[in-house]
Each structure stands twice: as C-alpha cells, then as structure tokens.
C-alpha cells in the first residue's frame, strides 16, 4: 500500500470516546463510499493534515472532511519517522495477556522462562514452521502455543493428535521441525480446538503465526530472531 507521509510537527494522538458532530457527519458520508456490507466501528478526527481516521475492526483508513478521498496506508512523521498508523493499530489489537486461556495452550519453558509469548499456529503453516526454527535459538522464554486450525481440513486432526500425545510440546516440535506426525488420538480425547478457533476469531487473528507478547501487543508473521529480541527489549 502507498504511504501517506505527513511532514508535520505532531502532538501525541488523543482519540475521543464519543464521536463529535464533525465525526458523525464524516461517518454519514464515508459509509456509502466503502460499499455494501462495510461496518465502520469509529470515525475520529486526527490532529494531522485534516484527516479523519475510519476504523473497520483493527484496520484503519483515512478520509477528508467531505469524504471525497480515501487514503490507504500509513501516516508517518517525516521529521521523526514515527509511524502513527502502526502505533494506532497496535493499540487497537492489544489484548490483556492474563485473560488468555493459557490452560488451553501447550506450554514450553526454556531457561528461566521470564520472557513470555503466546503464539497462534496452524500445524499446516509453513511460516509457523520457520518461526519454530527461530525459537530453537531463543533462550529464557516461556511459549504458550494455541493450535489455531484455519488453513486446511486436516489441521484440526493433526492438532488433536498432538494435543492428545503424552508430551504435546515434544509432539508439536517433532511435527513442526521434523515432519514426524503424532500417532492417532483416542476418539474420546477432548481438545480445545473449537474454543481456540472462537478465541482467535474474537481477537481477529487472521493469519498464522500470530505472536502475542506479555504487554498485549502482537506481531503477525514469522519474525526473525533479531526482530524478536528487539521486541522483547522494548517491553517494559
């Protein structure tokens, strides 16, 4: 997507809870322009360039006061390189880590385990397998793996076989790293598959892997070791 670059002296962004008269007017104008079925969650006037933020779920687009133009992409302060759109999306997608149903995840602890992440992964996800390779070289971390079966019809079967294994962490790594399938699970073995599927949809997890950090922020995709360490370092 093309970036909208704002070379402005920007103040910190503050977003109102209730929409103002101007914001409601923009909402009325922009909704028909987005096409049938579009659900606008909020319209907020930004402190830069006369733009209005239009939020659809965790996605953001921008428009002018008359909704004559739609801007898709990031707003970046050309002076400081601060990406205001990225920061806003991170805030919108933030979750309370302690609210995650961690008992429904496979738990792996390496070293002191002080750094904590949760990952939504599909057993048929190639990028997830790549990230598993990256995790091999990361120490002092606790990893909660939510088996999020969205890519293939047999994903839930593979996840069930792994979940019902005597050592599900070992079985998951054997499959993701070495391609060794877990033995078939007993028919009466219960799994959290449906619960995790609903959780992921509620959290708008649209791809795998999605990594959730202890501060509630997330990274979609297979971040490399350098990026992962940088993210850990940024969490206070």
Q: What is 31-46 written as a DSSP string?
A: HHHT-TT----EEEE-
Give the domains, in start order, of the chain with CATH numbers.
4-92 (3.10.450.70), 97-234 (3.40.30.10)
120 - beta bridge partners? 146, 210
In this prediction, residues 135-144 reach a mean pLDDT of 96
Checking 166-170 for CB contacts under 8 A at 24+ apart, the result is 168/106, 169/106, 169/107, 169/108, 169/145
109 and 88 in contact (C-beta within 8 Å)?
no
Task: List the 42-45 sheet strands across, edge first.
Answer: 42-45, 52-56, 59-63, 70-71
pLDDT exceeds 90 at position 63: yes
In this prediction, residues 175-202 reach a mean pLDDT of 96
pLDDT exceeds 90 at position 59: no
Per the prediction, the chain carries an average pLDDT of: 89
Query: Containing H/E element for 118?
Result: strand 115-121
pLDDT computed for residue 17 by the predictor: 54
Write out pLDDT tens, residues 1-20.
334 333 332 333 333 457 89
pTM of the model: 0.75
In this prediction, residues 153-175 reach a mean pLDDT of 96
């Amino acid at each position: 997507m093309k970036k909208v670059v704002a070379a402005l002296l920007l103040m910190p962004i503050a977003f109102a809870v209730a929409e103002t008269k101007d914001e409601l007017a923009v909402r009325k104008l922009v909704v028909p322009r987005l096409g049938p079925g579009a659900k606008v969650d909020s319209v907020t006037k930004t402190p830069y360039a006369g733009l209005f933020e239009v939020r659809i779920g965790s996605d953001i687009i921008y428009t002018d006061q008359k909704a004559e133009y739609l801007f898709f992409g990031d707003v970046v302060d050309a002076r400081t390189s601060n990406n205001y759109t990225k920061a806003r999306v991170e805030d919108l997608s933030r979750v309370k880590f302690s609210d995650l149903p961690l008992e429904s995840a496979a738990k792996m602890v390496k070293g002191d385990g002080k750094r904590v992440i949760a990952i939504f992964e599909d057993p048929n996800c190639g990028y997830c397998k790549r990230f598993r390779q990256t995790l091999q070289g990361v120490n002092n971390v606790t990893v909660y793996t939510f088996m999020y079966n969205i890519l293939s019809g047999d994903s839930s079967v593979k996840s069930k076989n792994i979940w019902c294994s005597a050592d599900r962490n070992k079985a998951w790594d054997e499959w993701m790293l070495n391609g060794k399938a877990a033995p078939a699970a007993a028919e009466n073995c219960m799994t959290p598959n449906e619960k995790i599927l609903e959780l992921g949809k509620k959290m708008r997890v649209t791809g795998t892997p999605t990594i959730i950090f202890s501060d509630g922020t997330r990274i979609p995709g297979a971040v490399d070791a350098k990026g992962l360490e940088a993210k850990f370092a940024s969490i206070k």
